[in-house]
Amino acid sequence: MADKKVTLTLNGEAPVELDVLQGTLGQDVVDVRSLGSKGLFTFDPGFTSTASCESKITYIDGDEGILLHRGYPIDQLATHSNYLEVCYILLNGETPTSEQFEEFRTTVTRHTMIHEQITRLLQGFRRDSHPMAVMCGVTGALAAFYHDSLDVNIERHREIAAFRLLSKMPTVAAMCYKYSIGQPFVYPRNDLSYAGNFLHMMFATPCEEYKINPVLERAMDRILILHADHEQNASTSTVRTAGSSGANPFACIAAGIASLWGPAHGGANEACLRMLEEINHKEHIPEFVKRAKDKNDSFRLMGFGHRVYKNYDPRATVMRDTCHEVLNELGMKDDLLEVAMELEHIALNDPYFIERKLYPNVDFYSGIILKAMGIPSSMFTVIFAMARTVGWIAHWKEMHDEGMKIARPRQLYTGYEQREFTSKLSK
């Protein structure tokens, strides 16, 4: 029973008492579920003030710039853990013992190959297709190959589908890249780490041995950790909505990929690098900052701002440090990093950004690292989708485990009242 309550009084009618529910951390929520039966809806386009579900997976404190996965701070996970261990934690709620981790890692490793027929499906796309279009299509099509794990009401099916998705996304992602550059696909290898296997499938060729640079392997693993999950963001909410109808997991993850592709969401990393390339030199920054502040100009600083973070995105801090690490390891000096750091400095001292609490987010530095690693900007969001698959699966599983109702919001209708139909078409 909730101790706290709010009372809603509507123009003289009897007051309605609503429970206030309290979580472990974060804001309390008003339980408005009974309002519908009283003929009232709440109105919240973009869900700026709506808690769509109860979850135990990830907690974000936007004001303090805190991100916890099952209670573990993101900077500690990025520094001391690895992506597959973070996957285990997100999916199971606790850190694995060595035995549990070895079994988990072996299961993921042994399912990285995809059905050979999928290579023919993939080759139906144009070579110049955007890799996200291919990734979205192929992921949804996995349902056509894995009929034995589509009954979402069977827990074992959900588990098999989860492992298949976690294992095969790097293989599909690398195939999207290889196909776009006309190189042969590289099969996954069971002797490599998750991140190392992805780099090998991306950059190995039949002509010579590809040596994995351990600094780049560690940087890629850290990038995957930083993108693994992020509470009820647009793409995760999309996966939950698709899953609420009982849709199969491959269709739900494909829906998440489609939502992530938008430049306001996961597509921001690609858009941010293009923006930095367009700015090109520090002296051009004021002109772009001016445009970002101009309400008549649709231009926004990509990689800046966040619906939840009104402080530094803790992932951006780790990403910036990783950026310096990778560039130092490669002995590279990227002028775009200079532009990014100067842009960050100028924006963080500009009243417009200060008043609106706009800070760099996870997408601000990731593009510079990926570009330095030789990855084209069209693949940036594909890598984001690959990393976020575990978060989408964790929320999809939680929704099924907790029991769910189909997501069916209502609306504020402002269209025509009923009127008689007469056609204007000539008889």
In the complex, the smallest distance separating the C-beta of residue 22 from ligand SDX, rounded to whole angstroms, is 23
Tokens of 235: 């793409």
130, 306, 313, 395: which is the annotated catalytic residue?
A: 306
Q: Which is nearer to ligand SDX, 113 or 354 (CB)?
A: 354
- Rounded CA separation 182/133 (Å): 17
363, 395, 400, 401: which is the annotated catalytic residue?
A: 363
DSSP assignment of 194-217, as one string? HHHHHHHHHH-BTTBPPPPPHHHH
Applying CB under 6 A, among 115, 300, 310, 324 the residue interacting with ligand SDX is 300
**Buried b vs exposed e over 118-151: b needs ≥16 C-beta within 10 Å?**
beebbeebeeebbbbebbbbbbbbbbeebeebbe
In the complex, the smallest distance separating the C-beta of residue 394 from ligand SDX, rounded to whole angstroms, is 13
Local structure of residue 181 (DSSP, 8 states): H
Q: Which is nearer to ligand SDX, 66 or 215 (CB)?
A: 66
Segment near ligand SDX (CB under 6 A); pick from 26-34, 209-217, 247-255, 303-311: 303-311
Applying CB under 6 A, among 83, 304, 392, 396 the residue interacting with ligand SDX is 304
Q: Which is nearer to ligand SDX, 175 or 273 (CB)?
A: 273
Instruction: Rule CB under 6 A: say whether 221 interacts with ligand SDX.
Output: no
Q: Which residue is nearest to ligand SDX (CB)?
A: 305
Q: How many residues bind ligand SDX (CB under 6 A)?
A: 21
Instruction: Rule CB under 6 A: say whether 310 interacts with ligand SDX.
Output: no
Q: Which is nearer to ligand SDX, 57 or 302 (CB)?
A: 302
- Rounded CA separation 140/200 (Å): 25
The side-by-side arrangement of strands in the sheet containing 16-21 is: 5-8, 16-21, 29-30
Instruction: Rule CB under 6 A: say whether 302 interacts with ligand SDX.
Output: yes
DSSP assignment of 74-99, as one string? HHHHHHH--HHHHHHHHHHSSPPPHH
Contact mark string toward ligand SDX, 226..245, x via CB under 6 A? ----x--x------------
CA-based nearest residue to 400, from 204, 185, 153 = 153
To the nearest 10 degrees (0 to 180), the angle between helices 380-402 and 234-244 is: 40
Instruction: Rule CB under 6 A: say whether 55 interacts with ligand SDX.
Output: no
Applying CB under 6 A, among 217, 270, 363, 398 the residue interacting with ligand SDX is 363
Residue 306 is among the residues annotated as catalytic for this protein: yes
Burial of 194: CB neighbours in 10 Å, binned 0-12, 13-18, 19+: buried
Q: Which is nearer to ligand SDX, 212 or 382 (CB)?
A: 382
Instruction: Rule CB under 6 A: say whether 292 interacts with ligand SDX.
Output: yes
Q: Which is nearer to ligand SDX, 170 or 303 (CB)?
A: 303
- Rounded CA separation 308/60 (Å): 8
Helix (H) or strand (E) holding 29: strand 29-30
Q: Residues with catalytic annotation?
A: 306, 363
- Provide the binding-site residues for ligand SDX, judged by CB under 6 A: 230, 233, 264-266, 268, 292, 300-308, 356, 358, 361-363
